[in-house]
Amino acid sequence: MIHSHQITGLVLAGGRGSRMGGVDKGLQNFNSTPLALHALLRLQMQEGGLVGGQMVNANRNLAAYEAFGVPVWPDTLDGYAGPLAGFMTGLERCETPYLLTVPCDTPLFPLDLAPRLAQAFEDSSTEIAMAAAPEEDGQLRPQPVFCLLRVDLMESLLAFTHGGGRKIDRWTDQHRTVIVPFDRPGDDPRAFFNANTLAELHALEKG
């Protein structure tokens, strides 16, 4: 059972933003608030108070991210190695038993994300809880950047990444990973929509 403030929230903002023309995605505004700051605020608002501290994984414009008032850590792996590099950085710096990862470009992620993922840990064998959301065809699709992880997985991830592994699902498949569906009546169908382009971001703002 996961209790209040046992989770550290990590906002993943370390990518190249290539599909946004190379801009720093986490610093683009969503409803007048930088995306990464918006994500931090949603982590603070998680139901049940499960998320205590927050931090940001970023690889450029570090001073701008530090202005949000939380620790900012760049990848420890070289070469913009992708979300798993952010996972690795978060696990290395996390001081709570669990780490919750969220990307900076999905501004409507659920405010009950943490408690619903935490329910998977009522089974003591669970190591990772991963969100899944329905596609337009109704099929559930895992959302691997939305994970709740046991911090003691750090050595496993270190070995995987040092062996050249970069795909999140190939690593999570090595562990007891529980898929948590976000398809209840009342769940926002846009909750896991990630804005890859500025046009998509502006469309999401307009609802």
Collect all residues with Cβ–Cβ distance below 8 Å to 136 and sequence separation of at least 6.
none
pTM of the model: 0.95
The predicted pLDDT at position 80 comes to 66
Residue 1 placed within a domain: no
Answer yes or no: is 83 within a domain.
Answer: yes
What is the Cα–Cα distance from 4 to 27, expressed in whole angstroms?
Answer: 29
The pLDDT assigned to 133 comes to 96
For position 13, which CATH number holds? 3.90.550.10
Name 45's Cβ contacts closer than 8 Å, sequence gap at least 6.
111
Task: Indicate the residue type of 87.
Answer: F
pLDDT band at 32 (very low <50, low <70, confident <90, very high): very high
Per-residue confidence band for 18, with pLDDT thresholds at 50, 70 and 90: low
User: Domain range holding 196?
Assistant: 7-206
H/E element, 200? helix 198-206
Structural domain total, the chain: 1
Residue 39 one-letter amino acid: A
User: Which pLDDT score, from 0 to 100, does residue 145 have?
Assistant: 97
pLDDT digit string, tens, across residues 120-129:
999 999 999 9
Sorting pLDDT into bands at 50, 70 and 90, what band is 207? confident
In a domain, 2, yes or no: no
1 confidence band (pLDDT: 50, 70, 90): confident
- 136: exposed, middle or buried (Cβ count in 10 Å: 0-12, 13-18, 19+): exposed
- Decide if 41 is inside a domain: yes
DSSP bridge partners of 179: 130
